[in-house]
Amino acid sequence: MGVDPSPPRVAVERTPRRPRPWGSTVALFAGACMLTGTTLGPVSLITTALGLVLALTVPGLALISAMPDQEFTRSPLMTVALSVVLSAAFYVLALLGLDALGIGLSREAILIVTEAGIALSCGWSLATRRPPLLPDVRLRRPPTKSLVPLVSMAAAAAVVFSMVGLTSESPAPYQAMYATGPAAAGLTLNVVKGRSQLGLAVANHTSGRRAYRLTGALATGARWSPLQIEVPKGATWSGSLAGPVPASRCRARLEVDLQDASTGRVLTQLSVWVGTAARSPSLHGHPVPASHSVTSPDGANYCA
Amino acid sequence: MTKHHTDVAVTSGGIASVVDANERGPCGRAWLFWVVWIALPLGCAIVGYSYYNAARHPDSWHYHIFWIGMLTFMLPAGARLLSADPSRGERLQITAAFGLFAFVPKFLRDPSGPLWYDELAHWTQAQAIHAHRALFQPNPIEPIIQKFPGLEAVTDALRELSGASTFAAGSTLIALLHLSALLGVFFIAERLWDSPRIGGVAAIVYACNPGFILFDSQFAYESLGIVFFIWSVAAVVGIWASKRSPGGWTAAGVLIIAAVAPTHHISSYVTAGVLTVAALFALARRQGRDDARNARYGAALATLAVATAAAWLLVVASSTIAYLSPHVSGGISQTFHLIFQPSARRQLFQASTLPVYERASAFLAPLVAGAAVAVGLISLRRRASVPPALLALSVLGLAYFPALPFFLSRAGNEGARRSLDFSYLGVAVLGAAALVRLATWSSHRGRATMLTGCAIAVAGVILLTGNIASGFDEEYRFPGPYVYGSDTRSQTAESRGMVNWFLTTQGPNQHVVVDRYNGMLLASFGHQLTVTPSPAFPAWNLYFDSASPALSLLRQLRDSRDNYLVIDERMAQKLPRIGFYFVPNEPLAGIRLKPLSSRALDRYVSLPWARDIYSSDTLKIYRLDFSAISLSGGANGG
């Protein structure tokens, strides 16, 4: 008896090919276009909020759409959560890639690499006939009940944003005095015909208009005529304080007091150096003791 | 005939098989659905009011109001998740809301901009990356951040693509990451125990960890790194639970794991460790073709995690070793030292203003966690087949307990606290199974049902309040009056005004010698390069010594072009709240009894090389003119 060499026939049932996920792809493409719009268009509160949401989800959703066996798409919330994580991972790797290639992280470069990632993912999803994103999304609850969490979260967000201004503490008042002109750069004030002038600014950051008195006194004893100023709340006064500088072989320290005009209380002090350079043999880096003087390498002689 | 249906699709002989959807347990009531969603905005409002109260009335009422607000939502949400009633979809919604709600306290702490030390450092880094259009910018506040630009890369992309500010982009990112983190924990526990009920409970137990509500809500690299860690574990769990080819989870896992290493050092090392342990368990217990295939995929992800973490450490961020080693070695040596010398222990809650119930809860929380983990481990033993990832997470959960003694040491305290954010994933996965087991056991037992419900609620409150109390002091948590030497309460209008003036008149990128608290602002908002003193560069001596500065130090200052010196007069009036003026390793840090000498701070008025250019109520800026001083040799040159 001859043996039939042909193998037994098995009926092969071909499974129907999965349709291409055109719906997901068109939705992702629309998301990518909107992202381009929010990136390149005029900036407003709405475009910024929309841009943030799209930038945090669309790249991740595109990556999910390209992945095989998308069992995580069983729940829309879980898909969104994973899309945020995948979007973040995508940006980390994409920007590292751009940086490694020496491409500056400009708006255009980031947009191009993001759109390219979305396009490649969508293309791969179409080519490999991946299942569509969120195939089983159905409203299984009555509409009212399914809307409750959304309404509650929106109300919570409204409550939180309405409290933004209320939770910060009120700023403590203060006033500041600073040098302008050469003294602001740390330079010594020049003496011209026995007088010198210090550029000053006084900023009032208290709760109301304040009257101040500016006094200047040289460490060598000479006093400059005081100046009375009024500075409105939140404003800065600019001007100068001038006075005589007795002839001396050394640079003198000028102490300027900012006083409360009504009480005479010293609010803050500024000290600058006034005078001309003079040669002296000693060199130290120590504080200047009273009745002594030191000379720096620039040849200046400092006296207390 | 009553139709009984379990709320799980597949059971492996685990406790989920006894969880019956028709058994309500202690908390199963349909009206809870409405309570949960009404409580959400109400809880936000009460929490917001606690901050309003704290900013204006510095008593202790804000603590009580805060907890009333938190529990207004968290208790009904927890009860609903613990009950057998809700569908999987509702559990996911509550978990997502929980994640967003847990972001609210940190957001309302200061919604105007970055405030905490780490936040300022990362915000500065993101600003620098945006300005220079390149990653790896030097960071004057926390230099290690330069080597881990993941968070700033995402923020910069969001900023460019949306037009939002760095703070707005960062806050949105962190809020959504919070949501993703809890949904990731939900997924892990759900798949490991085959129960969405355990998934939801695990998510809220995880949210009770010491860092989730505050520390991981700040704009810092760990807030992103920990989410990558959670979803890396989720990918491995997804692979293991796959009945078909796990290509989707593998692809997702590859992307996420590749992004961990450039984002956060500890997250990448913990990810590598947990995935490796899971892979070893999986390879050891292959029982069929599917198991063998899934074990191979899991091992591939573990290999990738180890390779990327090691490569990043060796090639890009080798300075991480020097950054982390003092915390690890110092923590270990100090903790062992404490065993033999208990008097040297760090006093927990020393001079704390926290309410008594918070402090008591801080000590009780580990006991509650321990009990939950113990019952969870018993549940594990009763399972016929334990997934390798569950074994790995059990090991991780058990790591929570050895970390606790490190809280007593100064060097180990910080690292121990941060490790809990990771180990709590294991605690949550085991503890949730224990809680659901307890709730299921007590159902239909009359008074026991009510008592069990109350006991679980009390345990949850202890975990939440105790863990938050153990991690943060009042200054970090609430707004309020100025506190010298606090990272969060030392920012005043005066210091911000000084920073603005400095930037406007002196320009950016100036080298400034300044204390930590004003330095944070100068480096971040002022774009200045602040000096970090060290034993090799003891710039702190400019403040600590009343004697003349050493010539060697002045030479160092000149050579590094440190041209500005900022003096805060309050340094001579108060001790810093957190124990140091500049850095934790400065002389007398943490043990100083008196503030600095005012003589040491006032001497610059008469020094010819220090030029006074700005003076406000308490702050002075000197411009250092080294041409006015001879720095060649001298007796003081040491």
Provide the 10 A C-beta neighbour count for residue B22: 14
Cα nearest neighbour of B133 on chain A:
A105
- CA neighbor of B54 nearest in space, from B483, B548, B576, B409: B483
Q: For chain A, how big is the Rg over CA atoms in Å?
A: 38
DSSP character for A267? Answer: E
Segment 231-260 of chain B within 8 Å of chain A by CB: 231, 238, 242, 244-249, 251-252, 255-256, 258-259
> Which of B90, B548, B627 has its CB closest to that of A297?
B627
Q: Which residues of A touch B172 (CB under 8 A)?
A: 52, 56
Q: Is A304 touching B (CB cutoff 8 A)? A: yes
Cα nearest neighbour of A105 on chain B:
B133
- CA neighbor of A63 nearest in space, from A114, A107, A100, A26: A114
Residue B506 has pLDDT above 50, yes or no: yes
Q: Which residues of A touch B88 (CB under 8 A)?
A: 75
Q: Which residues of B touch A106 (CB under 8 A)?
A: 133, 160
- Report pLDDT for B27: 52
d(CA B558, CA B552) in angstroms, rounded, equals 10
Provide the 10 A C-beta neighbour count for residue B43: 24
d(CA A28, CA A36) in angstroms, rounded, equals 12
- CA neighbor of A149 nearest in space, from B81, B40, B79, B103: B40
Q: Average pLDDT for residues B286-307, to the nearest whole number?
A: 87
DSSP 3-state of B611: strand
DSSP codes of every residue in B292-352 = HHHHHHHHHHHHHHHHHHHHIIIII-THHHHHHHHHHHHHHHHHHHHHH-GGGPPPTTTT-
pLDDT-derived band at B190, boundaries 50, 70, 90: very high
pLDDT-derived band at B501, boundaries 50, 70, 90: very high
- Report pLDDT for A289: 39
Residue B257 has pLDDT above 80, yes or no: yes
d(CA B240, CA B387) in angstroms, rounded, equals 7
- Report pLDDT for A14: 62
DSSP character for A297? Answer: T
Q: Are B359 and B347 in contact (CB under 8 A)?
A: no
Assign residue A208 a region (left: φ > 0; alpha: ψ between -120 and 50; beta: otherwise). Answer: beta
pLDDT-derived band at A281, boundaries 50, 70, 90: very low
Record the pTM. 0.88
CA distance A11 to chain B (A): 24
d(CA A135, CA A242) in angstroms, rounded, equals 81
- Report pLDDT for B548: 80
> Which of A174, A251, A268 has its CB closest to that of B493?
A174
Q: Average pLDDT for residues B379-397, to the nearest whole number?
A: 87
- Report pLDDT for A286: 39
pLDDT-derived band at B32, boundaries 50, 70, 90: confident
Q: Average pLDDT for residues B535-550, to the nearest whole number?
A: 89
Cα nearest neighbour of A75 on chain B:
B89
The one-letter code for the residue type at B291 is D
Residue the block writes with tokens 């202690």: B26
DSSP 3-state of A53: helix
Give percent of chain A above pLDDT 90. Answer: 41
d(CA B205, CA B520) in angstroms, rounded, equals 34
- CA neighbor of B417 nearest in space, from B392, B429, B400, B396: B400
Q: Average pLDDT for residues A93-104, to the nearest whole number?
A: 95
Backbone angles phi, psi at A205, to 5 degrees: -110, 40
Backbone angles phi, psi at B490, to 5 degrees: -105, 5
- Report pLDDT for B16: 44
The one-letter code for the residue type at B430 is L
Q: Choose between A298 and B77: higher pLDDT.
A: B77
Q: Are A216 and A255 in contact (CB under 8 A)?
A: yes
d(CA A232, CA A224) in angstroms, rounded, equals 25
Q: Is B606 touching A (CB cutoff 8 A)? A: yes
Lowest model confidence (mean pLDDT) among A70-74, A199-203, A280-284: A280-284
B110 with A148: Cβ contact below 8 A = no
pLDDT-derived band at A26, boundaries 50, 70, 90: confident
Segment 103-122 of chain A within 8 Å of chain B by CB: 104-107, 110-111, 114
Alpha-carbon B620 to chain mean position: 34
- Report pLDDT for A251: 76
Q: Is B169 touching A (CB cutoff 8 A)? A: yes
DSSP codes of every residue in B208-230 = TSTTTTTGGGSSSHHHHHHHHHH
Q: Is B323 touching A (CB cutoff 8 A)? A: no
Give percent of chain B above pLDDT 70. Answer: 91
Query: ipTM of the predicted structure?
Result: 0.90
Q: Are B253 and B301 in contact (CB under 8 A)?
A: yes
B562-568 and B619-624: which strand pairing?
A: antiparallel
Three-state helix/strand/coil letters over B148-160: CCHHHHHHHHHHH
- Report pLDDT for A143: 61
Residue B1 has pLDDT above 50, yes or no: no
Lowest model confidence (mean pLDDT) among A25-34, A243-252, B57-66: A243-252
Sign of the torsion formed by the C-alpha atoms of B300, B305, B306 and B308: positive
Q: Is B168 touching A (CB cutoff 8 A)? A: yes
d(CA A204, CA B573) in angstroms, rounded, equals 24
Q: Are B122 and B96 in contact (CB under 8 A)?
A: no
d(CA B175, CA B103) in angstroms, rounded, equals 6
Q: Average pLDDT for residues B463-476, to the nearest whole number?
A: 88
* B132-144: pLDDT as tens digits: 999 999 998 999 9
- CA neighbor of B75 nearest in space, from B463, B612, B503: B463
DSSP character for B603? Answer: G
* A125-168: pLDDT as tens digits: 888 877 777 654 554 555 667 789 999 999 999 999 998 877 77
